[in-house]
Amino acid sequence: MTKLQAVINHKCPRCRQGNIYPNSMFSLNYAKMNETCSHCGLKYEIEPGFFWAAMYVSYVLMVAELVNAGILAFYFFGEKDQWWIIGTTISPVIVLFTFNFRYARTLLLHFLSPIQYNKEL
Ligand SMILES: [Zn+2]
């Protein structure tokens, strides 16, 4: 499994086999994380408060969504329909909040933590 596939499928950054989340992105328990990897035993929260840093990753994701949606809204609605532009700009962040929450943590684990991939696990 490549790193991109592991990120897309929310797999463990060390073994790329175990799931980070036990539930679907669309379930009510979307935020519940496994404490350790079921395959290699890696503890995901490598230090207390580690996932607070995911707020910064989530911020980057939301800004990217807001900017793109804002440009598209401005392109389609023009300058006169301000409420349509505001609604269209904000809606992706509201609709994609579970996506942002989960991918912020997954991206943090894969790209901004000291955990290295070990293919022998
Ligand atoms: Zn693992």
The 3-state DSSP class for residue 49 equals coil
Give 95 Cα–ligand 1 centroid separation in angstroms: 30
Mean pLDDT of 112-121: 92
Is residue 121, in this structure, part of any structural domain at all?
no
- Distance from Cα 46 to the centre of ligand 1, integer Å: 13
d(CA 15, ligand 1 centre) in Å = 4
Residues 6+ apart with CB under 8 A from 104: 54, 55, 57, 58, 61
Give a yes or no: residue 118 inside a domain.
no
Residues 57-69 have pLDDT tens digits of 999 999 999 999 9
Residue 36 lies in a domain: yes
How many domains does the structure of the chain reveal?
1
In tens, the pLDDT along 39-96 reads 999 999 999 999 999 999 999 999 999 999 999 999 998 888 889 999 999 999 999 9
Domain membership of residue 104 as a residue range: 3-111
116 in any annotated domain:
no
Residue 117 domain-assigned (yes or no): no
**CA 47–ligand 1 middle distance (angstroms):** 17
pLDDT of res. 79: 82
